[in-house]
Amino acid sequence: MEIQKNMQETSLESTPAVVVPDVVSTDFVNMGSFQFTRKGMSVLKEDIGLQEWGEVGRTLAVLTAGIQLCVGDWLNYGESQYGEQAAQYIDASDWCEDTIRVYRWVAGQVPMQNRIDGLTVGHYMSAATLPEAEQKAFLQRAHDEGWTVRQLKAHVSGSDVKADPQYSIVLRFETEQGRDDVATELRSKGYEIETR
């Protein structure tokens, strides 16, 4: 394919890792030939090269992978440097108070040296109450062994870790007896069953 040929010819190491936004306002961010808003992306000019498109994609990947912790770090920095002025600025913005409280707390509890690429903010939340050395050990194991957030929570709490369910099925029965019979049979085969 032509796209694959062009991608092979373009050395990814020779291109910048991220694109710095050209224009930032309260309503949009321009990066190269693209404009990003709360509703999505617009193309500002035609004939965009594959390299520019790829650079913007790498920038978006960096931003989305750690945005919650970036926001939390930004909040903590602002409050430590500017105190009440930062709080007033944040209060006047569009941030959801509950959301930023969580981001701020997690970023404050999990130091940068304990953060590992590939883990989510859910992983960090699960280990945030642990002492730093223990936190680091659990997060490293979660990364190395590919634990889900649920598995990490179970290890942190010391409870048995069961495999994450791969899917959920909802069954409706005409009688309670029929429901109970099927539930009993499935439980005997090791399935987790919730009845209502």
pLDDT digits (tens, 9 = 90+) for 9-50: 333 444 445 566 666 666 888 888 888 888 898 999 888 889
Euclidean distance between CA atoms 149 and 158, whole angstroms = 14
Higher-confidence residue of 34 and 168: namely: 34
On whether the CB atoms of residues 178 and 169 are closer than 8 A, the answer is no
On whether the CB atoms of residues 20 and 52 are closer than 8 A, the answer is no
Structure tokens at 14: 């020779």
- Which pTM was predicted? 0.63
Min mean pLDDT across 42-51, 162-171, 187-196 is at 162-171
- The residue among 163, 152, 168 whose CA lies nearest residue 190 is 163
Nearest-Å Rg of the Cα atoms of the chain is: 23
Higher-confidence residue of 94 and 100: namely: 100
- Look at phi and psi of residue 112 and say left if phi exceeds 0, alpha if psi is from -120 to 50, else beta: alpha
pLDDT of residue 177: 83
Is residue 2's pLDDT more than 50? no
